[in-house]
Structure 1
Amino acid sequence: MNLRRLKYYVKIVDIGSLTQAAEVLHIAQPALSQQLAALEGELDQQLLIRTKRGVTPTEAGKILYSHAQTILRQCEQAQTAVDNAGSALSGQVSVGLAPSTAASLLAMPLIQAVKARHPAIVLYLNENFGSPMSEQIMNGRMDMAVIYGDKAVHGLSFVPLMKEELFLVGAGTPPATGGTVELNEVIKYDLFMPRPYNVVRRLVDETLLREKLKANIIAEIESPSTLNAAVLNGLGVTIVPESAARSMATQTGIWLSRITSPGIQAPLSFCMSDHLALSPPAQAVKDILLSLMVKRTQDNRPLMLVH
């Protein structure tokens, strides 16, 4: 097995077509097919299923694809480290930040700090929900992320940063209790929530189960912009961490109430692979990100720093 064949294989899977992959790689299709056949021969496994619409990986092919991405990424990091030995840090570093959170507010300070200290590092910033980002970290396609969650997951390492209280957010008339609302009152509202795999949704579901309560969820929304619009138009309310709630409440007519009896807290954590070493540029970005995160928790009193 050689790196060139792995590179070819990843490109074929990414594009889903031998013909188009050959064009992108600037090699003849018969030659690309020979390289694929040689790789399948080395592994003694069929890696791709050919159809009229293109190619799709077999189960063995999916496993190889995941490992190949990691191998190729590590080789790129090794080459970059060797090329930059004794010189300023450079290269690409990918960072995920949970959307509409205290983490997402770090995007601009992070860009500024990295630009000032390591101008040759190119940042790739991605705001997304936790599960897709954690999967990208596990397969080596993302270096690190700040996401909700702190439970041990195979392939991932979590460093707890802080905890945020969950708030009910809506438009129009706020709860009679004002700044707080009990959980048994929350279930009387029409709720917008993310899918069950989302950490915040899971925390809410687990608390409701313990309290023997059932929420009235009328829609599951993943897009922050769509969720914001639905709440702003009075179609329902939502439950989000404090930083997201306060961001939404900057709009006219939006109210927020901290959930009590019982309260619910969402842990925000720094996440990285537990088996793939960070490149020197990624390690430098990690140090900057964690220092910015600690400073934010110290400056923002409502948030609870995890000791």
Structure 2
Amino acid sequence: MDLKQLKALQVIVDTGSFSEAASQLGLTQSALSHQLRRLEEELDETLLVRARPRVYPSEAGQAVLASARKIQTELAGLQTHFARQRKGPVTGSLHIAATSLSIVYVLGDLCEAFMEKYPGIEVNFTASETAGAAVKRVLVGASDLAFTPMTEANKQLVSVPLGRTDHVFIVRNSHPLAQRPAVSMDELRAFPFVLFQPGSGTRGIMDGLFLPSGGYGRILTESNDAQFIKRIVSISNGVALMPVYAMSDGVAREKLSQLTCEQTVPHVDIGIVHRRGVQMHAIELFKALCLDLRGPSLTHYTRTNVGPMR
């Protein structure tokens, strides 16, 4: 077992593709496959599940990957330590997991600011299906940080709250509820729902609102693609819940109406998490920049002040 094999495993998992990983590592695909096969033979375990559209780690692969991350963290720490002694640029890598919705509307601005300030740190992204899946990647060592709703405490994780985002119910402009100054949950329940999938922060809010009081009624469809949800709502009588920061595109401005709920203004706190006990300079630098941009209190996204977190 050597560092090249562990690095190969990491890059394959991060990209989900042997061909993309080979390109990033400057290897032929056959050479990369040979490295991985030697590692699997040495450990007598299958480390990767070769599926479509993405390759993903087996249970054994997750365990090896977690150890590989720790090794890389230690090496990055040494490099950073001696880089600081040389007064040169900060170098290293940072692996971040988040949903595409978070990356597009919130996290992207933070990462852009981080990469501008620390160009020597390589930032890698994994777009997860749900926030829960992003957190799981951190727990198994596949990612260093995850962007997620601050809904459940986990003793294995350090949480850094960064903001609070209000959510709004949306309907198309010609919907029977569109012109109402405020609507009740019972009135919303009379129409089919377009929902985020279980495991997402927005779905968690919806479940908390509707399941204890009679459920949803009819569900039109479920998806974690915010653009898809907004488009379906714009052509149907469906109702959806959406974070306010996702309401700035053309479809939202031109085709959708935002509703005020009589009972509540749904909201969720959002932020980043990393594994407790991990000492990694790039993580600390990212946390420090996020907190600096946030300021002394949580950034609050509302219908009237939607914008980047800075």
TM-score, scaled relative to structure 2:
0.72
Which has the higher mean CA deviation after the structures are superposed, 178-187 or 90-99? Answer: 90-99
Residue 112 (structure 2) pairs with residue 111 (structure 1): yes
| Pairwise CA distance, 1:58 | 6.4
- Tell me the alpha carbon deviations over residues 177-215 of structure 1, each in whole angstroms, 9 at most, x when there is no partner: 634322111111221111112122122112222223434
1:16-35 equivalence runs, <5 A = 24=29, 26=31, 29=34
Say if 1:90 and 1:26 are closer, same or farther in 2 by CA, change over 3 A: same
Q: Does the CA contact (< 8 Å) of 2:62 and 2:141 recur in 1?
A: no
CA distance in 2 between partners of 1:106 and 1:28 (Å): 34
| Pairwise CA distance, 1:274 | 2.0
- Does the residue aligned with 2:261 lie in a helix, a strand or coil? strand
Say if 1:234 and 1:172 are closer, same or farther in 2 by CA, change over 3 A: farther
- Find the counterpart in structure 2 of residue 43 from structure 1: none
Which has the higher mean CA deviation after the structures are superposed, 215-224 or 86-95? Answer: 86-95
Say if 1:178 and 1:273 are closer, same or farther in 2 by CA, change over 3 A: farther
TM-score, scaled relative to structure 1:
0.73
Identity %: 14
CA distance in 2 between partners of 1:273 and 1:220 (Å): 31
CA distance in 1 between partners of 2:149 and 2:167 (Å): 12
CA distance in 2 between partners of 1:33 and 1:107 (Å): 36
Q: Does the CA contact (< 8 Å) of 1:245 and 1:256 recur in 2?
A: no
1:262-281 equivalence runs, <5 A = 262-277=264-279, 279-281=280-282
Q: Does the CA contact (< 8 Å) of 1:162 and 1:303 recur in 2?
A: no
CA distance in 2 between partners of 1:126 and 1:50 (Å): 17
- Does the residue aligned with 1:292 lie in a helix, a strand or coil? helix
Residue 243 (structure 2) pairs with residue 241 (structure 1): yes
Q: Among residues 228, 231, 235, which one is paired with 2:230 in the alignment?
A: 228
| Pairwise CA distance, 1:151 | 0.6
- Does the residue aligned with 2:162 lie in a helix, a strand or coil? strand
- Find the counterpart in structure 1 of residue 167 from structure 2: 166
| Letter aligned with residue 194 of structure 1 | F
Q: Does the CA contact (< 8 Å) of 2:96 and 2:144 recur in 1?
A: yes
Q: Does the CA contact (< 8 Å) of 1:192 and 1:227 recur in 2?
A: yes
Q: Does the CA contact (< 8 Å) of 2:182 and 2:262 recur in 1?
A: yes
- Find the counterpart in structure 1 of residue 133 from structure 2: 132
- Tell me the alpha carbon deviations over residues 145-165 of structure 1, each in whole angstroms, 9 at most, x when there is no partner: 332233113532223334333
- Find the counterpart in structure 2 of residue 212 from structure 1: 214
Say if 1:165 and 1:215 are closer, same or farther in 2 by CA, change over 3 A: farther
Q: Does the CA contact (< 8 Å) of 1:230 and 1:236 recur in 2?
A: yes
CA distance in 2 between partners of 1:141 and 1:51 (Å): 15
| Letter aligned with residue 120 of structure 2 | A
Say if 1:52 and 1:190 are closer, same or farther in 2 by CA, change over 3 A: closer
- Find the counterpart in structure 2 of residue 48 from structure 1: 46
| Letter aligned with residue 237 of structure 1 | V
CA distance in 1 between partners of 2:18 and 2:119 (Å): 36
- Find the counterpart in structure 1 of residue 200 from structure 2: 198
| Pairwise CA distance, 1:92 | 2.8
5+ residue gaps, structure 2, are: 306-310
CA distance in 2 between partners of 1:249 and 1:8 (Å): 42
- Does the residue aligned with 2:159 lie in a helix, a strand or coil? strand
5+ residue gaps, structure 1, are: 41-45
- Does the residue aligned with 2:253 lie in a helix, a strand or coil? coil
Q: Does the CA contact (< 8 Å) of 1:97 and 1:103 recur in 2?
A: no
Query: What is the root-mean-square deviation in Å for CA atoms of aligned residues?
Result: 4.2
Q: Which has the larger radius of gyration?
A: 1
| Pairwise CA distance, 1:142 | 2.8
Q: Does the CA contact (< 8 Å) of 2:230 and 2:252 recur in 1?
A: no
Which has the higher mean CA deviation after the structures are superposed, 129-138 or 104-113? Answer: 104-113
Say if 1:109 and 1:267 are closer, same or farther in 2 by CA, change over 3 A: closer
Q: Aligned pair count?
A: 291
CA distance in 1 between partners of 2:198 and 2:184 (Å): 22
Say if 1:52 and 1:62 are closer, same or farther in 2 by CA, change over 3 A: closer
- Tell me the alpha carbon deviations over residues 199-238 of structure 1, each in whole angstroms, 9 at most, x when there is no partner: 2212211222222343421111111222222222236231
Q: Does the CA contact (< 8 Å) of 2:167 and 2:244 recur in 1?
A: yes
- Find the counterpart in structure 2 of residue 253 from structure 1: 255
CA distance in 2 between partners of 1:52 and 1:90 (Å): 32
CA distance in 1 between partners of 2:3 and 2:114 (Å): 35
- Find the counterpart in structure 2 of residue 80 from structure 1: 79
CA distance in 2 between partners of 1:232 and 1:26 (Å): 50
| Pairwise CA distance, 1:168 | 0.8
- Tell me the alpha carbon deviations over residues 106-163 of structure 1, each in whole angstroms, 9 at most, x when there is no partner: 5346524641x33433444556541232122223333323322331135322233343
CA distance in 1 between partners of 2:178 and 2:56 (Å): 56
